[in-house]
Amino acid sequence: MFYITTAIDYVNGAPHIGHAYEKVLADVIARYQRLRGEEVYYLTGVDQYGQKVQQTAEKEGVNPATFVKRNTKLFQNLWLKLGLQNDGWAATTDERHRTCVQAILSDLNEKGQLYKKAYKGFYSVRQEQFLTDRDRNEAGEFGPEWGQVEERDEENWYFRLSDHAEWLKEFTAKQTDFVIPGFRRNELLGALANSGEMDLCISRPKERLRWGIEFPFDPDFVTYVWFDALINYISFAGYGKKEGSDLPDFKKLWPCAAHVIGKDILVPAHGIYWPCMLHAMGFSDGEMPKILVHGWWNMKGEKMSKSLGNVVDPDALADKFGVDALRYYLVRDITTGKDADFDLDRLVMLYNQELANELGNLCNRALNMTARFANGIVTTTSEIGEDEQKLRASLETVTAEYRAAMDAFDIAEGLKAINRQVTYCNAYAERNKPWELAKDPALKGRLDAVLYHLVESLAHCAVLLSPVLPDPAERIAAQLRMDDLLKLKLDDLKWGLVAEGHETGKPKPVFPRIVIEEEAS
Ligand code: MSP
């Protein structure tokens, strides 16, 4: 089983492009794994508790429950629009999640992993955590990244994070694929080497924060939002589920093949708190999840933020340019792990060039010419020359390169591999000029060979493209009249998908060009 999750998004506003990127990236990986023949479970969802959410709700004058419900809908609707094929939905106000978090708190308490103490210190409201002197900048101050910082003196519950520090250092050092890509693992190793052995404050007094999961053995406190949120990965996978629950079978899903998260939440949340929490619960080294860390979409080299007013709205983009263009751009113009600049001109250019022009052209040519010059009938027993052999060799190479890239979560390289075959086929058509061959009945064998090689290549490309662009792949399969094409698995992609005498359908534009109308001056 390939169990894949994303970070769960705070619902204190509408979804932004970073949220959409992560969800689409995980969806592409999930779909690719299904294509490989794996059984997949894809979980995504929303992080609904915490001070940020409570504060924004208060500002808007609504109660947090209503506020969260309303905003959660925005996320759900967008994921539906973007075609996410998620199997589960993690919403932290879900009763089943609360029961699981409380059972874990009780269990950890019984194991002596929790204790209560008074603490006086500085607290970042934005990051919802106490700060230490290590968090001060060179000028000795708490920088703007911490937002509003206040001094607090209060009693809280702590988790004995320090008990697990040595184990985590050793584990991260030996488990080379614990965090992917490697340079992100190095960041974690660096953070672990410099970390002081501190315990983690996991409660908030109710007088300050009501919007959270209540401590089962101390009702004056609610659970710190990160401690509750991280548990979603197991609670919604069926960990400790009640009899008769419709949640999945935990033993089947766990360990998680990939928690897909952004670089900002590796240290400390996913790289330190989460493995230590699991370790404290009794999870062995072999039961630790893998963490796939992606980079950020920026704007002209700057972070996107509400205060800078440069946040991109994925919903509006999908309406304006179409879901296909958006899904494609989100995984085509960024290398998994690294940052990239979000650039609308490039979104339009890459879609128009690689999809509307190149792939659209191949679809149109292959089907149109088969219809016009061969009554829509593919003849496979035809004259195979050197050029056809080269085309087949190119397809084989491209498929292997695509596989290697996609196995390494490098979607952009996978797409570039497909594009190489598409360009190859278009050049092959230009070279062999079926429209000329059609003029001479003596060249019918050559004509059939060229048409066949274009149609067969198109069928392969549609399958390879399907994890990123499932709907266009369906449209191509329908025009090819190959209803079962997208039921094929990666290993089935051998030459000969199109049968002798197969009748193809009529071409209809799969990728209408995006035309940007000049703003009226
Ligand atoms: N609620 C926490 C995650 C809890 S997971 C147990 C959170 N939420 S968030 O809404 O702030 O961010 C959700 C995800 O979106 C994170 O993985 C974050 O890295 C990602 N992104 C937020 N902005 C982003 C970009 N501009 N670009 C790419 N991803 C970004 O953190």
- Write the pLDDT tens digit of every residue in 136-172: 999 999 999 898 899 999 999 999 999 999 999 999 9
Which residue, by CA, sits nearest to atom 15 of ligand 1? 19
pLDDT confidence band for 252 (50 / 70 / 90): very high
Mean predicted confidence (pLDDT) in 314-327: 97
Residue 392 has pLDDT above 50, yes or no: yes
The angle formed by the CA atoms of residues 507, 415 and 35, to the nearest 5 degrees, is 80
pLDDT confidence band for 518 (50 / 70 / 90): low
Residue 432 has pLDDT above 70, yes or no: yes
Centroid of ligand 1 to alpha carbon of 341 (angstroms): 17
Distance CA 138, CA 142 (A): 9
DSSP strand E in 92-235: where?
114-124, 129-131, 149-159, 179-180, 200-201, 203-205, 221-223
Does ligand 1 lie within 6 Å of residue 8's CB atom?
A: yes
Does ligand 1 lie within 6 Å of residue 326's CB atom?
A: no
pLDDT confidence band for 362 (50 / 70 / 90): very high
Does ligand 1 lie within 6 Å of residue 230's CB atom?
A: yes
Distance of CA 35 to the CA centre of its chain: 16
Centroid of ligand 1 to alpha carbon of 6 (angstroms): 9
pLDDT, tens only, 208-237: 899 999 999 999 999 999 999 999 999 999
Task: Classify 344-517 by CATH class.
Answer: mainly alpha
Distance CA 257, CA 254 (A): 8
**Residue 304 CA, closest ligand 1 atom number:** 26
Does ligand 1 lie within 6 Å of residue 314's CB atom?
A: no
Distance CA 176, CA 237 (A): 25
* Domain ranges for the chain: 344-517
Distance CA 338, CA 488 (A): 32
DSSP strand E in 420-474: where?
none
DSSP state at residue 285: G
| Percentage helix, strand, coil for the chain under 3-state DSSP, each rounded to 5 | 50, 15, 35
Query: Which residues pair with residue 222 across a beta bridge?
Result: 204, 214
Asked if 480 and 505 count as a contact pair (C-beta separation under 8 A), the reply is: yes
pLDDT of residue 130: 86
Does ligand 1 lie within 6 Å of residue 328's CB atom?
A: no
Which SS3 state, helix, strand or coil, does residue 182 take? Answer: helix
Which SS3 state, helix, strand or coil, does residue 89 take? Answer: strand
pLDDT, tens only, 492-507: 999 999 999 999 999 9
- Within 8 A by CB and 6+ apart from 456, the residues are 495, 496, 497, 498
Torsion sign, CA atoms 390, 392, 393, 397: positive
Residue 71 has pLDDT above 80, yes or no: yes
Amino acid at 172: T
pLDDT of residue 51: 87
Query: Which residues pair with residue 150 across a beta bridge?
Result: 123
Asked if 90 and 48 count as a contact pair (C-beta separation under 8 A), the reply is: no
Does ligand 1 lie within 6 Å of residue 388's CB atom?
A: no
Distance of CA 478 to the CA centre of its chain: 27
- How crowded is residue 413: how many other Cβ atoms within 10 Å of its Cβ? 16
Q: Which two tokens stand for residue 120?
A: 């006086």
Give the residue among 126, 149, 125, 128 at the shortest CA–CA distance from 137.
149
Q: Which residue has the tokens 């092959």?
A: 428
Distance CA 429, CA 435 (A): 9
Does ligand 1 lie within 6 Å of residue 21's CB atom?
A: yes
Which residue, by CA, sits nearest to atom 21 of ligand 1? 18
Distance CA 427, CA 421 (A): 10
Highest mean pLDDT among 74-78, 121-125, 298-302: 74-78
Distance CA 246, CA 232 (A): 15
Query: Which residues pair with residue 259 across a beta bridge?
Result: 5, 291
pLDDT, tens only, 455-479: 999 999 999 999 999 999 999 999 9
Q: Which two tokens stand for residue 473?
A: 């792949």
Mean predicted confidence (pLDDT) in 91-113: 98
Q: CA separation (Å) from 138 to 134, 146, 395?
A: 10, 15, 55
pLDDT of residue 520: 46
pLDDT confidence band for 354 (50 / 70 / 90): very high
Distance CA 7, CA 44 (A): 7
Which SS3 state, helix, strand or coil, does residue 377 take? Answer: strand
Centroid of ligand 1 to alpha carbon of 296 (angstroms): 9
DSSP strand E in 26-99: where?
40-47, 88-91
Does ligand 1 lie within 6 Å of residue 297's CB atom?
A: yes
Does ligand 1 lie within 6 Å of residue 264's CB atom?
A: yes
pLDDT of residue 396: 98
- How crowded is residue 74: how many other Cβ atoms within 10 Å of its Cβ? 15
Q: Which residue has the tokens 């928690």?
A: 259
For residue 326, with 0-12 CB atoms within 10 Å meaning exposed, 13-18 middle and 19 or more buried, which class applies? Answer: buried
Q: Which residue has the tokens 């025009």?
A: 479
Q: Which two tokens stand for residue 521?
A: 């001056």
- Within 8 A by CB and 6+ apart from 265, the residues are 7
- How crowded is residue 276: how many other Cβ atoms within 10 Å of its Cβ? 23
